[in-house]
């Protein structure tokens, strides 16, 4: 399954090798971008999967509430729910700008936890762009469990930077 970012979410190139693939074995140029892995290790560790990115400015991601990420009460620790929301909203910013190669950086995020995410449940996070321009994008996200019960809501602002300016 596609990671939902087509190699460009949060500014990641799609070959996952960046300039390191250009042939000097990683030893040379002083001014060279480092390779960026797609999908990033954080997505792989958390088991984040993109389910839908067909509508510009809107993406849906999924993750299982794994016991490795539970607190002593048996519910998913809030930071992991937040990571799902950030993935959905961050990818939505990339689909919002289309083919323009940009880095997307979260500059603020607010989470509201509505109900606990129980270990073993499957969480779906849908993020969408509420308003956005070429530099700043405001997003929201809903996280729901497999019964469609609302688990959390998020809002965030992302700063977009053209890749050629970095």
Q: Tell me which DSSP letter residue 147 carries.
A: T
- Can you tell me the distance from the alpha carbon of 47 to that of 99, in angstroms, rounded to the nearest whole number? 26
104 pLDDT exceeds 60? yes
Picking from 160, 55, 49, 70, the residue whose alpha carbon sits closest to that of residue 120 is 70
How confident is residue 120, by pLDDT bands cut at 50, 70 and 90? very high
| Count of helix runs (H) and strand runs (E) in the chain | 2, 6
Give tens-digit pLDDT for 134-157.
Answer: 899 999 999 999 999 999 999 999
Give tens-digit pLDDT for 22-49.
Answer: 344 444 433 344 555 667 788 888 999 9
Picking from 101, 94, 12, 112, the residue whose alpha carbon sits closest to that of residue 58 is 94
Higher per-residue confidence, 166 vs 103: 103
Higher per-residue confidence, 97 vs 24: 97
pLDDT for residue 166: 61
pLDDT for residue 31: 37
Q: CB within 8 A of 125, min separation 6: which ones?
A: 60, 61, 62, 63, 84, 85, 87, 88, 141, 142, 143, 144
Question: Which pair of structure tokens corresponds to residue 46?
Answer: 């958390």
pLDDT for residue 110: 98
How confident is residue 64, by pLDDT bands cut at 50, 70 and 90? very high
The predicted model scores a pTM of 0.77
Question: Which pair of structure tokens corresponds to residue 118?
Answer: 């129980």
Average pLDDT over residues 5-26: 37
Task: Give the mean pLDDT of the chain.
Answer: 81
């Amino acid at each position: 399954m596609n990671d939902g970012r087509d190699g460009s979410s949060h500014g990641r190139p799609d070959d996952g090798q960046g300039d390191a693939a250009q042939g000097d074995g990683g030893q040379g140029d002083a001014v060279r971008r480092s390779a960026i892995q797609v999908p990033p290790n954080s997505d792989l560790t958390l088991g984040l999967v993109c389910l839908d990115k067909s509508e510009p400015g809107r993406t849906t991601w999924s993750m299982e509430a794994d016991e490795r990420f539970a607190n002593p009460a048996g519910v998913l620790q809030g930071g992991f729910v937040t990571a799902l929301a950030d993935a959905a909203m961050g990818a939505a910013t990339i689909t919002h700008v289309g083919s323009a190669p940009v880095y997307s950086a979260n500059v603020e995020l607010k989470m509201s936890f509505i109900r606990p995410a129980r270990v073993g449940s499957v969480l779906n996070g849908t993020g969408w762009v509420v308003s956005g321009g070429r530099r700043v994008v405001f997003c929201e996200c809903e996280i729901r469990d497999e019964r469609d019960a609302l688990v959390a809501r998020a809002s965030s602002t992302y700063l977009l930077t053209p890749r050629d300016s970095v």
